[in-house]
Chains A and B, each alone.
Chain A
Amino acid sequence: MQFLSPWMLTGLAAIAVPIIIHLLQRKRVVPIPFSTLRLLKLVQAKTARRSHVENLLLLILRCLIFAFILLAAARPVISPKVAGEWGGNVPRTVVLVIDNSLSMNYRAGNQTHLDDAKKQALAILDDLQPVDDVAVITANDRAQLLIGEPTVDHVVARQIIQSIQPTQSRTDFSVALREARKIMARTEKRARRIYLLTDNQEGGWQFDPRTVFDDLWRQTGAQLTIVRPDALTPVNSAVTRVMFQSPLVAAGSVVRGSATVENFSAVDLHDLLEIKLGDQPVAQRAVDVAPGSTADVSFEFALPTVTGDAVRGTASIQSDRLPEDDRQYFWLSIYQAPRVLVVEGQQAGPESLHAGFYLKKALAAGGDIQPKVVSTAELDELPLEGYSAVILADTVVSDRALVRLERLLQSGGTVAFFFGDNTSVDNLARIGFLPAKPTGQRNLPAGRLSVRALEPRHPLFVNAWDASTPFPAVPQQRMFNVDVAKDAKVLLTLGDNLPFIIAGKLGPGKVLIVNASADRSWGDLPLSPAFLPLVKQIARWSAELDRQFANYVVGDPLPPAPNLPRDEVLTVTLPNAATQPVGLGEFIVDRAEQAGFYAVTVASGAVVQQFAVNVDPRESKLSPMDDDALTKIVPNETVTGLDNLRLWLERKRELAPLWPAFLLLALLLFGVEAVIANVMARNRSQAAETHIATGRLNKHRLSQPFRPAESEPSTAKSVGDR
């Protein structure tokens, strides 16, 4: 038994007060001359013993009342173990929130922080009493209730704790603490404590505290103890991003890109960035990053000859204590010759006068694209699946063709419009997915008109034009006045800011308007140096998939591509080589749990979609939350290290308060004392009310008890006076 206010025990000396009073009263016996002791001797034998016992009992009771009140004031406490031995205990509910986020994979010595946290959790479990119940939650960016309802089965809890596996998810304590709060609100046990076993990463506390530490939290009265594996400052660096100038590369071409390396520690980082394609190193760059700084490391390499339409790669530095974030996964699309369909609206006269003549020539230049040219009528019957782009040259679009074009766009295809004399404003007005609505033709000034790029970084212009090689001036004579839709982008303007090239989207599909004719009816664009690269870029752009640039991190859902075959059985292969089927219309994976490559394949084994998923870069910053800042968020106690935890558990064990029991005991004794004193008083009162009848009773005699003088016998004085 311990006393939280031991100085109050000095007050136990006050017990001497009733004893001294009792002894003084015994000493202050007044000698009283009395007529005869004949009757007193008779009654003494009967009453003296009882009176002595009663007075002694009262004395003992009063001393005990004093003692218990003072003991209660000293706030005695006992350990639960002793309480259990005495037949009582203070049942507790303990919620163990174990952080198994990516950062807990930090390796210190031979063990990870998660291993340390599990050992600490077991130490806490060992400290519990059989009546204490325990719940176990794992915390990363979500909470997993391993034991959602507190149980007294500590063996099961131990097994569950030992089976906790690390994850690559980021840290967000809000979810797990909310669950712990709910558990505490349900429990009926009086002592409640939440242990958060974590590296206490600062990023885990980036949430609105009012959503967790609200009135319900305060009502539960739960105490929060943060248990950290150690008090050391972690050393970590990470590759947090890889960017390529073009995600679409051709075999043998030079690939240029950059990797972002962050140094989260307090020492300089001197490392080597290595780029691998598959298992083959293709580039290495030295990395020097100052403490707490970020560096973008540029690299380039020649893409070797590869099979397939994509190549997987990694950008990594040498592994440190948290290896998961030292590598970034990426994949590159290998350029595949696009399949382009050219629809001519005007096919009368010699071929050179056909609306698609120059388009066909430009696409076929270089020999990598073999365009198919059809008439407007043929478009109504031709299946468009398999084409990456459909270029409409001076075409009137029928309703059937419109449906087919929309389906192409929904599957990720590209539709490009060139106008001409056959183009009807009314016909174009029926096309809902146009990024701009023509309102009427206009004539342009003679000569070449300058072109201004409003979106110079648009993929349409990558590797074609830039600031040093601008889009050349165009000899254009006519064009449409257009109303640009809100979600459309004007990529190029002509002359006096007239929209020239306008890009829009319909789902994953791309829509492009070139506000000019593909033949020479509206000007000499087909003969200008801009025409061939423009047409080539349109074809190449159509071969890119929108999602190639998407940056997925662990915890994200992986969406299916719109052009996935609908009549095939799809399977996704996870980074750990496990496979699982993909449901029609569902996410490829609802939540990516691992960093690495995810590949969607059809029954034949062909890969139809793939993802590179990386760890969340926020998780790489391992600096712990500042204690003062954390205290402002929520009152807590922090313990670091297993040994310190054991000492803390010994010292700060949930001591059972004994003072209420002492106070209750004092009250009970007070009641007993009152009853005994009352009975004695009643006996005395009964004696006082019993009167011996004489000739006449004097009321004065009844009300005034005799108080003999202490100095000399009153009788002698009375006799002497007489």
Chain B
Amino acid sequence: MAKIIGISDYLTPEMMRKLDGFMLRSRYVVESMQVGAHASPLKGASVEFTDYRQYVKGDNLRNLDWKVFGRTDRYYIKQFEEETSLRVQVIIDGSGSMGYGSPGQKTKYDYACHVAAALGYIVSKERDSLGVTIYDNEVRHHVPARSGKRHLRVFLEHLAAHEPKNLTDTGLALHALAEMISRRGMIVLISDLFDDPPAVFNALAHFRKKMHDVILLQVLDPVELDLSIDRMAEFIDMETGERLEIDPSSARLAYKQELQKLIDECREKCSVLNVDYRLVSTDQGFEDFVHQYLAERRRMSL
């Protein structure tokens, strides 16, 4: 009998309690069929007054401001900002490289799943829609965004069902996904970005062109960050199986410089595309990271 995956497999009650005070809000207006707490491009019924306009034939008289009519004898319609639910699509890199984890640390994929679960919990709690896509060199799992607690379980089951392997082709997968998601929403991409950077950012630009609010979380293992290995080692590529013998201690400085260059490039591209970029190491507790990240977005009044 297959194990039933629930949120408790990823989050403890204490973590959930800490996350209860947060919500994931989009920086841009989003489109949805449901009423929610997020700004919608449509004007409709809500408690948030926006503006007055002249009455035209066909307007709902419920929005006529009778007090202004009584003073001025003119018809003015009160306009209210429409609020809709958020559609969050979490995209996780499920390639072989994401399966790396140094001793004592979660694998990057595992870490990404925990972060996704935390975000999913918050989104689900706000009754927003949540979807998930897992890809490597193609899309392996795709669950469109829906709301509801049962859907959260589906979300988690897909995360758990995937095992990281195969090569990475982020560009191909994201372009395909961008065409699949028609309505504006939030895209959360969690990846180590060990891929062809131009292809990755072309795909992100595709999302941005469709007015999605894109969050890019680059997840790296501390060993990947520091190359903290003190002896001669033969490195085996987890995606290609290629082997390379190198003395990490002598190569460390150059390695860090190259990695920093890669990260700086990502940061710059994201800044240009207005993508919210974050680099996270798996030695940082995922709940801390999520807590810290959401708090930072709230401080920025998002």
Q: Which residues of A contact B (CB under 8 A)?
A: 25-26, 28-44, 46-48, 50-51, 54-55, 680, 683-684, 686-688, 690-698, 700-702, 704-709, 713-715, 718-719, 722
Contact = CB atoms under 8 A, between A and B. Distances in A.
A59 to B, nearest CB: 14
B250 A684 contact: yes
Interface of B: 96-103, 105-110, 163-164, 192, 194, 220-226, 228-240, 242-247, 249-256, 258-260, 262-263, 278-281, 283-284, 288-289, 292-293
A687 B233 contact: no
A43 B255 contact: yes
B222 A701 contact: yes
Nearest to A710: B231
The 10 closest A-B pairs by CB, nearest first: A687-B253, A51-B250, A687-B252, A35-B100, A43-B254, A35-B97, A718-B101, A705-B228, A36-B194, A34-B235
A690 B281 contact: no
**Residue from the set A38, A48, A50 with the largest chain B CB neighbour count within 10 Å:** A38
A708 B103 contact: yes
B255 A688 contact: no
Given A35-B221, A705-B229, A708-B229, A718 B251 contact: no
Contacts of A715: 99-102, 107, 238
Given A44-B244, A51-B251, A695-B292, A708 B233 contact: yes
28 contacts: A25-B231, A29-B232, A29-B245, A32-B236, A35-B97, A37-B242, A43-B258, A47-B246, A51-B250, A684-B249, A687-B249, A687-B256, A688-B228, A692-B225, A692-B260, A694-B220, A695-B284, A698-B281, A698-B284, A704-B228, A705-B229, A705-B230, A706-B226, A707-B103, A708-B233, A709-B103, A718-B101, A722-B107
B194 A719 contact: no
Given A40-B255, A722-B110, A47 B101 contact: no
Nearest to A47: B251
Contacts of A688: 226, 228, 252
Contacts of B226: 688, 691-692, 701-702, 706
B103 A50 contact: no
Contact of A695 (B192, B238, B245, B280): B280
A50 to B, nearest CB: 7
Contacts of B223: 706
A39 B261 CA distance: 10
Nearest to A713: B236
A32 B233 contact: yes
Contacts of B99: 35, 715, 718-719
A702 B225 CA distance: 11
Nearest to A708: B229
Given A35-B238, A694-B281, A719 B163 contact: yes
A44 B108 CA distance: 25
Contacts of B105: 718
A705 B246 CA distance: 17
Given A44-B244, A708-B103, A715-B107, A37 B237 contact: yes
Contact of B255 (A39, A54, A708): A39
B239 to A, nearest CB: 7
Contact of A50 (B225, B240, B250): B250
Contacts of B229: 32, 705-708
B29 to A, nearest CB: 28
**Residue from the set A36, A688, A691, A714 with the largest chain B CB neighbour count within 10 Å:** A36
A39 B224 CA distance: 10
Contacts of B96: 35
A692 B263 contact: yes
Nearest to B242: A37
A630 to B, nearest CB: 68
A684 B226 CA distance: 11
Given A31-B236, A691-B225, 19 more contacts: A29-B233, A30-B231, A30-B234, A32-B233, A37-B242, A39-B258, A40-B235, A40-B251, A43-B251, A47-B251, A690-B253, A690-B256, A692-B256, A696-B284, A698-B284, A701-B226, A706-B229, A708-B229, A718-B101
A343 to B, nearest CB: 126
B238 A36 contact: yes
Given A698-B281, A701-B222, A714-B102, A26 B256 contact: no
A694 B280 contact: yes
Contacts of B254: 42-43, 46-47
Given A25-B232, A54-B250, A34 B238 contact: yes
B100 A34 contact: yes
Contacts of B237: 34, 36-37
A707 B255 CA distance: 18
A39 B194 CA distance: 9
B232 A684 contact: no
Contacts of B97: 35-36
A42 B231 CA distance: 19
**Residue from the set A37, A694, A702, A709 with the largest chain B CB neighbour count within 10 Å:** A694
A713 B233 CA distance: 12
A721 to B, nearest CB: 9
B39 to A, nearest CB: 27
B240 to A, nearest CB: 8
Given A34-B236, A42-B258, A680-B250, A694 B110 contact: no
B224 A35 contact: yes
B220 to A, nearest CB: 8
A696 B288 contact: yes
Nearest to A33: B236
A693 B284 CA distance: 12
**Residue from the set A28, A35, A715 with the largest chain B CB neighbour count within 10 Å:** A35
A46 to B, nearest CB: 5
Given A34-B235, A43-B251, A48 B246 contact: yes
Given A40-B235, A40-B244, A714-B102, A692 B259 contact: yes
Nearest to B165: A719
A30 B233 contact: yes
A694 B101 contact: no
B169 to A, nearest CB: 14
A36 B239 contact: yes
A684 B228 CA distance: 10
A647 B258 CA distance: 73
Contacts of A33: 100, 235-236, 238
B274 to A, nearest CB: 20
Contacts of A40: 235, 244, 246, 251, 255
B97 to A, nearest CB: 4
Contact of B222 (A54, A680, A698, A709): A698
Nearest to A719: B99
B250 A695 contact: no
Contacts of A41: 244
A686 B233 contact: no
Contacts of B288: 696
Contacts of A706: 102-103, 222-223, 226, 228-230
A463 B199 CA distance: 149
Contacts of A37: 235, 237, 240, 242, 244
B300 to A, nearest CB: 15
Contacts of B107: 715, 718-719, 722
Contacts of B220: 694
B235 A695 contact: no
A47 B239 CA distance: 24
A32 B234 contact: yes
A41 to B, nearest CB: 6
A701 B283 CA distance: 7
A22 to B, nearest CB: 11
Contacts of B224: 34-35
Contact of B279 (A43, A695, A700): A695
A680 B247 CA distance: 13
A712 to B, nearest CB: 11
A594 to B, nearest CB: 89
A694 B279 contact: yes
Contacts of B278: 695
Nearest to B244: A37
